[in-house]
Amino acid sequence: MKILVPIDGSKYSENSLAFVASRATLLGNNPEIELFVALEPLPARATRMVGGSSLKAYYEEEAQKIFEPARAFLSGANIRAKETYVIGTPDEAIAEEAERFGADLIIMGSRGRTALAGLFLGSVTNGVLARTSTPILILRNKLVPEQDAMKIGIAVDGSAYGEAAVNYAVRHKNLFGEGASFYLVNVTSDYTGAVMPDMAGMALPALSENEVRELQKKEFAETTEPVLPLFAKAGIVPQEVCLVGNPGDEIAAFAKNEGLDMVVMGSHGYGRFKSAVMGSTAMRIAAQGDVPILLIRL
């Protein structure tokens, strides 16, 4: 597995490094890890005032200031990593490096603060999401798992995105640790709100309680049954979880109540609009908690 870890010397970078160091099973399979630094170029006026060699030395020094503590941390955990730095706009540079490196995963800490217009992820994270189809693990404030075996929720909705999420998770199950617990999660519609008018125009329930349960059971089966063979082929027996209501709200609540270490899901995001690149469900999950989200895009 090839893992790209963009770092900038912040505590968010420290979260990414700590997560990598926590993955005993993954590390035992010798993944290829690359630490990546993207330095913003100096203003043109400033570059004209210094010679080419001095400018190169400046950038090298700035990169090493970021690499050194990360290198020391990983070395203390007996982890070797390649180091690369470039001069350029961070989100564009990270996306380009992911493609050049052939990364299977990008791990990013998020410095976002609010849930407005996607800003809770921060501009760099959103920019990378908008520019690459490489899976991205977004870490926020939650501490890394104390144990190698993680509790993973995989959200599916019957679409190709959900299938892609399952495919990725079972193909890279070492990422989640030996003996990891997998929850296959689908959120069905709340049919109890369906009504029909009677002869007097009064709103009456259109479906009985049993009919509602049967519809939800059918919807859940239609969504989850197509991906169960993928788990079986990988020797994984997931716990099937049927939720009802708004997908983002329900998955966020389940992740919190069950103490999930990560939510894996396909992204319906598109384009370069900050609030669109994650997809509405992922946005709501991220906005309501600190659970890491692994986004699989197509």
Give 45's Cβ-side CA count (13 Å radius). Answer: 0
Give whole-number Cα distances, 207 to 70, 196, 218, 220, in Å: 59, 9, 15, 18
Residues 6+ apart with CB under 8 A from 113: 119, 120
- Find the mean pLDDT for residues 172-199: 81
Which pLDDT belongs to residue 270?
A: 52
**What is the percent of the chain where pLDDT is above 90?**
62
Residue 130 binned pLDDT confidence (cut-offs 50, 70, 90)? confident
Residue 144 binned pLDDT confidence (cut-offs 50, 70, 90)? confident
Which pLDDT belongs to residue 120?
A: 42
Residue 268 binned pLDDT confidence (cut-offs 50, 70, 90)? low
Q: Look at 280 and 187; give whichever has higher pLDDT.
A: 187
Give the lowest-confidence range in 45-59, 96-110, 129-143.
Answer: 45-59
Domain architecture of the chain: domains with CATH: 2-296 (3.40.50.12370)
Residue 97 binned pLDDT confidence (cut-offs 50, 70, 90)? very high
Encode pLDDT of 35-93 as tens digits: 999 998 877 665 656 666 788 888 999 999 999 999 999 999 999 999 999 999 999 99
Cα angle 16, 19, 22 (rounded to 5 degrees) comes to: 155
- pLDDT at 198 exceeding the cut of 50: no
**Of 95, 184, 187, 86, whose CA–CA distance to 134 is shortest?**
95
Identify each DSSP E strand in the chain by its residue range.
Answer: 2-6, 32-39, 82-87, 105-109, 136-139, 151-155, 181-188, 195-197, 203-205, 239-244, 262-266, 293-296
Residue 195 binned pLDDT confidence (cut-offs 50, 70, 90)? very low
> 152: which strand partners?
182, 262
Whether residue 280 contacts residue 187, with contact meaning beta carbons closer than 8 Å, is answered with no
Q: Collapsing DSSP states into helix, strand and coil, what is residue 19?
A: helix
pTM over 0.85, yes/no: yes
Residue 114 binned pLDDT confidence (cut-offs 50, 70, 90)? very low
Q: What is the largest CA-CA distance in the chain?
A: 87
Mean pLDDT of the chain, nearest integer? 86
Q: Look at 129 and 118; give whichever has higher pLDDT.
A: 129
